[in-house]
Amino acid sequence: MMKITDLKCTVIGRNPIVRIVTDQGIDGFGQVEPSKQYLKPHVLFYKNYIVGEDPTDVERVMMKIRRLGSFKPWGSAVSAIEMALWDIAGKAANLPVYKLLGGKVRDKVCVYNGAVRFPMNGCQPEDYAENMVKMKASPERFSIIKQGVAFHGQMATQVPDFFYGEIQRGSHHANRGLLTERGMKHLIDCIQAMKEVLGDEVGLALDCGPGFTVPDAIRLAQAVEPLNVMWLEDMLTGDYVPWVAPDSYREVTRSTSTPIHTGEQIYLRQNFKDLIEQKAVNIIGPDPCDIGGISELKWVAEYADLHGILMAPHGTGDGLLGLAALVQVAATLPQNYIAFEYPTGKPDWWYDIVEGLPNPIVTDSLIEVWDRPGMGVNLIPEATKPYLEEEDTDFFD
């Protein structure tokens, strides 16, 4: 029986990276998004729980640590460990992870643009239109492009009198309040400007919050119905909000034909239960590195499919190892799958320290599912060592 002998974590660039070591020379990797650099001690907290366990018994290991996580960001450590376990299980079986998850139902997985970004020159309609021109021209030829608006981005702080409320400075989208009439008009004008660029060739998804009140969420959703946007995401809850609010989302969803989307911050299937069973949204978007891992995401996708709810997983911050995990699980998801949010490697040298990615990675908004064992993408130790923190020079030992 294979046994886990060590759990390691280092920060490479800005990404916490998990490595699980075994007594048979097989290791597995997981990745956390860059905004969670502080999670290294939290990852290592789980070491004593998993050392000595068989990493190929993924569910048995996860049962020991799953209860100790929580909503974003605190489920990321558990999720990254789960990804690393699957990576080991696939390598031990000499099979890609998708085979262990039941096999693929698609040879290529669709992705949408969340991470191929260009600086915004302002928050006026012409600025959003200009930015959309650049993203539409990206060589990946994304079939869906997502843009942050309203409380998700700078609009709420840069547009005067955008909403009734005091501006809260800082990260994690702290602003919330009722939009002014001027603010709502400005928001709709910006959305219309983006749609004029994309036409019916490329879908437009909008990351909106959190920060909306229920009445404003309804007003916006109804106002953009003629524009056929792909979805309105995280209007009421979202990034770093440790609750779900299915009853409020359900009120919005039932009031409009515009698809309503949420879910990236939610940890575990139990916390999706009400959202799905009440049909509170049209689309869910769990992040594999926040929900508890890829098998948890697959379970939720299948349960959502039973209830007629679509699936568009989050993933823009999860990096290249996270990209590999998304490709593996997305290949196995039911037909409620739309696309996942495409992560990139930042800084650019990330592409020099991993092996296994195709070149180009994305063609016509699609990634061909690869067949290499495990997640199929690995760190190159000698190329990675110059980027290790001084205290983690033994990361590959």
**Closest listed residue to residue 338, CA positions, set 169, 146, 154, 79:** 146
Torsion angle (degrees, nearest 10) of CA 168, 71, 262, 342: 100
Q: What is the signed CA dihedral for 23, 24, 29, 30, rounded to 10 degrees?
A: -60
Residue 13, pLDDT score:
94
Q: How many CA atoms lie within 13 A of 279 on its CB side?
A: 8
* Residue range 165-197, pLDDT digits in tens: 888 877 777 899 999 999 999 999 999 999 999
The CATH architecture assigned to 99-374 reads: Alpha-Beta Barrel (3.20)
* Strands, E assignment, the chain: 4-12, 15-22, 27-31, 108-113, 144-148, 163-164, 178-179, 203-207, 231-233, 260-262, 283-284, 310-311, 340-342, 354-355, 366-368, 378-379
Average pLDDT, the chain: 96
Please write the tens of the pLDDT for every residue from 118-162.
999 999 999 999 999 999 999 999 999 999 999 998 999 999 999
Residue 268 predicted with pLDDT over 80: yes
The percentage of the chain sitting over the pLDDT mark of 90, rounded to a whole number, equals 95
pLDDT of 167 reads 87
Q: Which distant-in-sequence residues (6+ apart) come within 8 Å of 67 by Cβ? A: none
Read off the pTM. 0.97
Amino acid at 159: V
Domain ranges for the chain, please list them.
4-94+380-392, 99-374
What is residue 318's predicted lDDT score, i.e. its pLDDT? 85
pLDDT, average across residues 213-235: 98
Taking only the tens place, the pLDDT of each residue in 335-358 is 999 999 999 999 999 999 999 999
Residues in the chain: 397
CB-CB contact of 280 with 274 (8 Å): yes
pLDDT in tens, 39-92: 999 999 999 999 999 999 999 999 999 999 999 999 999 999 999 999 999 999
Strand order through the sheet with 27-31: 4-12, 15-22, 27-31
Q: CA of 362: how far to CAs of 154, 200, 315, 322, in Å?
A: 29, 21, 15, 15
Of all residues in the chain, the percent with pLDDT exceeding 70 is 100
Phi, psi of 269 (to 5 degrees): -60, -35
Determine whether domain 4-94+380-392 maps to CATH 3.90.79.10: no
Q: How confident is the model at residue 382 (pLDDT cuts 50, 70, 90)?
A: very high
Cβ atoms within 10 Å, residue 280: 23
